[in-house]
Chain A
């Protein structure tokens, strides 16, 4: 837990975990990058446009018996639409991503670099084309590429592992496997990251503290 003040607007800034160096100021939307005890302002990011996502900062859930809370969010956009990447801080201090697109959710965790020797990862790194349906084995699971998107950051909020300047070009490749596993390969500012996990429903992760919508009953699992 680290408490400081926004160098831009003076508002109180609260870091939940020392593992995450970036926080978007809740008041002035300045990107604050922490290095040691020094907070540096890195320019403002856009507010995430209002959407009907059931998730919000503070939504809780659990995966494999370990509880988590959503503490950050990045809104992505590509030519065919947009999606949300929610950062989950687990009770054991680790982090993961709850990726939300078209009303579906993928719960993903970063894969260590041993798992990156697959051709699809090399192709993303080298900016080569990746045909839909091509195979990729990550951590022993045989996936197939189901879409390739060129995206940018639209806006973000909360705590994040990296800054999200607008118009950053990002290549995002989604993969699927027969067992319900899914994976994502992302290239952001020259760096390739691989995430793997599975498709989940809000019921699967026992989501609570969801947003309430007028006229829509709260799901049974969240009540």
Chain B
């Protein structure tokens, strides 16, 4: 083993005389002096100046020479570039490791991504591309990008105003960026770093974790995973709920009785029962049926009375049926088979007291047909009492409660995706 050698070589800027570091000798092609901004040709023995600084010097937020460990690889910052597509600006750090080569740390001002040059050709299919079996969707149209500031050393010839055309392809968490100029086309694969990952690695202040504003094109929706979970749980819970209710909705007929209701306004009372309700809390359904009712109505007052406690549960229904002709159109309305449901009836032995009062309806426009002695007309009415039954109102309430969270998270996810796509949907319009 030979003694370790330093990767850093101290050079003197021929323009300003300042000491500058060469950190990747052999690969570095151009150096931009961090003191005076002069671009130097690293391939010439005397560091021939190529271009004078055209922009004011500034210090990159992560200083040249800073080292940081990302994913188990130690990287050293050797170059810094600021670029713009004229709408937004971003910065890129060139990172170097003598064994792993180069990487890019891309900072969009909100989040960092780590990029490496792709060592294979992507497969094109329509608007999307595939790399190693992973599909990337095209994100917007091709756009120009210009260098606005540069400092440090690079393995290519850098210059301010350097222009490339970029096309981006994304999948959640990863972006493939294709940069083209007249001479070459390079593909960079960018991995979105976790919040705080780059800041911790390179020792700069941590940024606030926030999903507001415009997300990065390859930023996975923070609601994506919980949305899938919420939807699966919501659907399973809804199906379970409906299944339980359907199973519990089997009704058992307890008793039935018929009575004749006169249509003269007098009240007929009938007691049906006793019926047994063995369940601690039962639903009771009282169905009335008056098939022959016509242009008349029957008011039905029900009282379900507990034989032991005399506790009474009351309900009310109307059986009615009307028809006539108005404006040349014949019409028919009413419900001859009204149902009522009583819920949460305690267990016990009950009587159902039915009070039925029948009325004849007389329209002014269409006089009722003469039934002769109207006082004696009666309508047969059947009352059926059964146990069990489904309470639609409760079901709907439960479903709304269950689906509340999935709906909220779907809306959040949709909002995030809309903001993520906003820069390119505007382009397309």
Partner-B contacts on A (CB < 8 A): 49-54, 77, 80-82, 84, 101-104, 132-133, 144, 146-147, 176-182, 199, 201-202, 210-217, 219, 222
Cβ contacts A to B, 29 pairs, < 8 Å: A49-B25, A50-B25, A51-B27, A52-B23, A53-B26, A77-B43, A81-B29, A102-B27, A102-B155, A103-B97, A103-B101, A103-B102, A103-B155, A104-B117, A132-B184, A146-B185, A176-B119, A176-B120, A176-B121, A178-B131, A181-B120, A199-B120, A202-B99, A211-B2, A213-B5, A213-B98, A214-B5, A214-B6, A214-B7
Q: Which of B170-197 contact A (CB under 8 A)?
A: 183-185
Contacts of B97 in A (CB 8 A): 103, 216
With A and B bound together, what is the CA distance between A202 and B99 in angstroms?
Answer: 7
With contact pairs A176-B121, A179-B120 given, residues A80 and B6 touching in the complex (Cβ less than 8 Å): no
At the interface, yes or no: B429 with Cβ under 8 Å from chain A? no
Residue of B nearest to A182 (CB): B119
Residue of A nearest to B130 (CB): A178
B26 touches A51 (CB 8 A): yes
- Which of A77, A103, A178, A199 counts the most chain B CB atoms within 10 A? A103
> B1-34 toward A: CB 8 Å interface, digit per residue (1/0)?
1111111010000000000000111110100000
B119 touches A199 (CB 8 A): yes
| Known A147-B183, A213-B4; further 16 A-B contacts with Cβ < 8 A | A50-B25, A51-B25, A52-B7, A53-B98, A81-B156, A102-B117, A103-B101, A104-B117, A146-B184, A176-B121, A177-B121, A178-B123, A178-B131, A182-B119, A199-B119, A202-B99
Give the distance to chain B from A26, nearest Cβ to Cβ, in Å.
Answer: 14
Residue of B nearest to A220 (CB): B72
At the interface, yes or no: B80 with Cβ under 8 Å from chain A? no
Residue of B nearest to A222 (CB): B99
B43 touches A213 (CB 8 A): no
A133 touches B7 (CB 8 A): no
With A and B bound together, what is the CA distance between A217 and B74 in angstroms?
Answer: 8
A104 touches B101 (CB 8 A): yes
With A and B bound together, what is the CA distance between A103 and B108 in angstroms?
Answer: 25
Interface of A is mostly: loop
Contacts of B136 in A (CB 8 A): none
Contacts of B117 in A (CB 8 A): 102, 104
Contacts of B99 in A (CB 8 A): 54, 202, 210, 216, 219, 222
Residue of A nearest to B117 (CB): A104
Give the distance to chain A from B399, nearest Cβ to Cβ, in Å.
Answer: 49
Contacts of A54 in B (CB 8 A): 98-99
Contacts of A219 in B (CB 8 A): 99-100
B74 touches A216 (CB 8 A): yes
Residue of A nearest to B157 (CB): A80
Give the distance to chain B from A215, nearest Cβ to Cβ, in Å.
Answer: 8
With A and B bound together, what is the CA distance between A132 and B74 in angstroms?
Answer: 34
Contacts of B6 in A (CB 8 A): 213-215
Contacts of B297 in A (CB 8 A): none
Contacts of A84 in B (CB 8 A): 26
Lowest 10 A-B CB distances belong to which pairs?
A51-B26, A103-B101, A199-B119, A212-B4, A180-B120, A81-B29, A214-B4, A214-B6, A178-B121, A52-B7
With A and B bound together, what is the CA distance between A177 and B121 in angstroms?
Answer: 5
B121 touches A81 (CB 8 A): no
- Which of B25, B119, B123, B155 counts the most chain A CB atoms within 10 A? B119
Contacts of B102 in A (CB 8 A): 102-103
Residue of B nearest to A217 (CB): B74
Give the distance to chain A from B88, nearest Cβ to Cβ, in Å.
Answer: 28
Contacts of B183 in A (CB 8 A): 132, 147
A52 touches B121 (CB 8 A): no
At the interface, yes or no: B122 with Cβ under 8 Å from chain A? yes
With contact pairs A102-B102, A132-B185, A146-B184 given, residues A81 and B27 touching in the complex (Cβ less than 8 Å): yes
A144 touches B121 (CB 8 A): yes
Contacts of A77 in B (CB 8 A): 43
Contacts of A202 in B (CB 8 A): 99-100
> B95-136 toward A: CB 8 Å interface, digit per residue (1/0)?
011111110000000000000010111110000000100000
A52 touches B27 (CB 8 A): yes
A104 touches B43 (CB 8 A): no
A177 touches B120 (CB 8 A): yes
Residue of A nearest to B42 (CB): A81
Give the distance to chain A from B4, nearest Cβ to Cβ, in Å.
Answer: 4
Contacts of B25 in A (CB 8 A): 49-52
Give the distance to chain B from A207, nearest Cβ to Cβ, in Å.
Answer: 8
Give the distance to chain B from A211, nearest Cβ to Cβ, in Å.
Answer: 7
Give the distance to chain A from B6, nearest Cβ to Cβ, in Å.
Answer: 5
Contacts of A178 in B (CB 8 A): 120-123, 131
Residue of A nearest to B24 (CB): A52
With A and B bound together, what is the CA distance between A49 and B3 in angstroms?
Answer: 18
> B59-98 toward A: CB 8 Å interface, digit per residue (1/0)?
0000000000000001000000000000000000000111
Residue of B nearest to A212 (CB): B4
B7 touches A216 (CB 8 A): yes
Contacts of B24 in A (CB 8 A): 52, 103
A213 touches B7 (CB 8 A): yes
With contact pairs A146-B184, A211-B5 given, residues A80 and B156 touching in the complex (Cβ less than 8 Å): yes
Instruction: Kindly identify which residue among A82, A176, A199, A210 contacts B26, using a CB–CB cutoff of 8 Å.
Output: A82
